[in-house]
Amino acid sequence: MNENLFTPFTIPTLLGLPTVMPIIMFPMLLFPTSKHLINNRLITIQQNLTQLVLKQMMTTHNTKGQTWSLMLMSLIIFIAMTNLLGLLPYSFTPTAQLSMNLAMAIPLWAGTVFMGLRFKTKSSLAHFLPQGTPTPLIPMLVIIETISLFIQPMALAVRLTANITAGHLLMHLIGNAALALMAMNFLATSLTLIILMLLTILEIAVALIQAYVFTLLVSLYLHDNT
């Protein structure tokens, strides 16, 4: 096992060219579509899960917000599949890169804010100044609310990056410990491997939860601006 902790986070190259785009596009191949009248079990399960998640996210949205349903479903499927594929040995996880997550968070956040300014101008501007604010505090509160608004996409990206990176580093460290203990103590090695298996199960859950949290927060931003 490679001793460099940050090797899994370096961008892979092929013939000197970065292979990020093929890696990003690969999850789309894992969701087949059927042209038959009766679908098989895999596609039926896929459609039922998609409808369940879509129903939970779109329940509170109005007609304008529901136009984002395809984008939000594509987003949660992409992040979930990318996170899960990153758990495979010798694989690369694009969502562990802050630049990648910012590239997803900023356009989505900006789209929700622009929709709010276009369709709910007064309500969007009213968020900068809560009702009943004392006059001396008005400038300070406007600055604070403006900063909190612009921090939202950064919080989205940092949350996803930190959770994925921390899990991968922890798995790497425990894997190195199990490899080092293999020649010393069988009992300690077995215990370490059990911990590694439990951590792997936890990371699978984290990969799915973080995809849902990222998409849910974007959905909440959309709900506040439509």
| Domain of residue 217, residue span | 41-225
Instruction: Say if 190 falls within a structural domain.
Output: yes
Q: Enter the pTM of the model.
A: 0.78
Query: Cα angle vertex 69, ends 66, 71, to 5°?
Result: 135
Q: Measured between alpha carbons, how far is 226 from 224 in angstroms, rounded to an integer?
A: 6
Q: Locate tokens 């399960």: which residue?
A: 45
Instruction: Say if 19 falls within a structural domain.
Output: no
Instruction: Say if 139 falls within a structural domain.
Output: yes
The tens-digit pLDDT sequence of the chain (226 residues) is 445 656 666 666 666 666 666 776 776 776 666 676 667 777 777 778 888 888 877 777 788 878 888 888 888 888 888 888 888 877 778 888 888 889 889 999 998 888 888 887 777 777 777 777 777 877 888 888 888 888 989 999 999 998 988 888 888 888 888 888 877 777 888 888 888 889 889 989 999 899 989 998 988 888 888 7
Instruction: Say if 171 falls within a structural domain.
Output: yes
Report how many domains make up the chain. Answer: 1
Which residues contact residue 72 at a Cβ distance below 8 angstroms, ignoring those fewer than 6 apart? 54, 57, 215, 218, 219
Q: Locate tokens 């690969």: which residue?
A: 26
Instruction: Say if 31 falls within a structural domain.
Output: no
Instruction: Say if 26 falls within a structural domain.
Output: no
Instruction: Say if 219 falls within a structural domain.
Output: yes
Instruction: Say if 29 falls within a structural domain.
Output: no
